[in-house]
Amino acid sequence: MSALQSAAPDVAAEAEREILFRVVNRVGIITLNRPAALNALSHAMVRELAVLVEHCRTDDAIVALVLKGAGSKGFCAGGDVREVHRLAKNRDPRWLAFFVDEYRLDYALHRFPKPVVALLDGIAMGGGMGLGQGARLRIVTERSKIAMPETRIGFLPDVGATRFLNVMPAEAALYVGLSAATLSGADALRLQLADLCVPADWLATFEERLQRMSHEGGLMMALRGVFEPPCNIVPHAALTPFSQLIQRHFDRRSGVERMVATLRHDLDRDPPRETRQWLQSAYDALTSHSPTMLYVTREALLRGRQMSLAECFRMELGIVKRAIEDGDFCEGVRAQLIDKDRKPRWAPATLAEVRPERVRQFLASPWKRDAHPLAMLGAEDV
């Protein structure tokens, strides 16, 4: 048997593994290796990632961590919601374990004692943002597509979003969380969801530079030198011209119905074409996404501004449980991802029908404090 023949099974086995790991110049590189599914996270991937992250945390030979996605289309499109939907429809309680494990993993990355670099190239949405926003150096490119699109499927922006979206002004956080707008890399940089915006071609060769990286001096400065080109020209942030519109229409003092009313009012005034397009997109989102989850998401984002990261994860898990067991999640996934008829039958169907007590129910924890599955999250911070 030739050397090539003997190596072939190893190459094939690596191609089939959903998580790849290697160390280059004392830096661990974790690759999400499910490119056909845009590296969406299965429960098995979440568990394997948790083991790897803990290994890297305790291994003194590893000084930093890089998270990346396989292929050129995306870092990670989110969690495997089709599988969550299947379990929920079959009344299989294992769907809860997926979220508990995912949130613990995300929290571990936020609290990781060594530098973490996340390459948010291509699609980085939902669960992908949960991983990436825990990094100390978040890198986007001209082909990044950043979003928290959960309200489209009767869910809320979770994986810590009630905390990490709040690095930006409340109005911008409400816009991103409620409308599910897709941000460019330059937009993400401007809104503080990224630290560097670089050409995608530059990332393709980062391992060569990492191999030559010096360990003398500051590690973060050295890592930034690996990922930032000498002459970096950041693309124009497309959302910049709409900053005042975001402040006006997503005012933190406005309920969702009020937001819809102001958007409709400005649309009726026959605005310029680009302004009309932005207004129409925001209006369409707030009149087509789950009415219940729009109200719940607004309240959760505003509450999250006064909460710790651990408290945000606990709040999100409670809302997730309500949304899946007694909310619009299963219907949203059916309409958007399974049958793809794009005609969800929300219950209730309109914003006007959403009762305040219904919103409060979603925000009330289903567990007593000590019985919460994430009760110990943050205990080490006290």
- Residue 30 phi, psi dihedral angles, 5° rounding: -105, 125
SS3 49: helix
Closest CA to 369 of 320, 305, 308, 315: 315
Superfamily of domain 1-147+192-237: 2-enoyl-CoA Hydratase; Chain A, domain 1 (3.90.226.10)
Domains 1-147+192-237 and 148-180+239-382 share a fold: yes
pTM of the full structure: 0.94
SS3 172: helix
What is the per-residue pLDDT for 16? 82
Pairing mode of beta strands 19-24, 27-32: antiparallel
Contact indicator for 187, 195 with CB cutoff of 8 Å: no
What is the per-residue pLDDT for 3? 37
Superfamily of domain 148-180+239-382: 2-enoyl-CoA Hydratase; Chain A, domain 1 (3.90.226.10)
Q: What is the pLDDT of residues 164-184, one digit of tens each?
A: 999 999 999 999 999 999 999
What's the mean pLDDT when you consider all of the chain?
94
pLDDT of 152 > 70? The answer is yes
What is the per-residue pLDDT for 15? 65
Q: What is the pLDDT of residues 256-298, one digit of tens each?
A: 999 999 999 999 999 999 999 999 999 999 999 999 999 999 9
Q: Which pairs from 260-267 meet CB under 8 Å and 24+ separation?
A: 260/286, 260/287, 260/351
What is the per-residue pLDDT for 174? 98
pLDDT band at 127 (very low <50, low <70, confident <90, very high): very high
Contact indicator for 315, 303 with CB cutoff of 8 Å: yes
- How many whole angstroms separate alpha carbon 90 and alpha carbon 77? 24
Closest CA to 25 of 208, 205, 210: 210
Report domain extents, the chain: 1-147+192-237, 148-180+239-382
What is the per-residue pLDDT for 6? 37
pLDDT of 321 > 80? The answer is yes
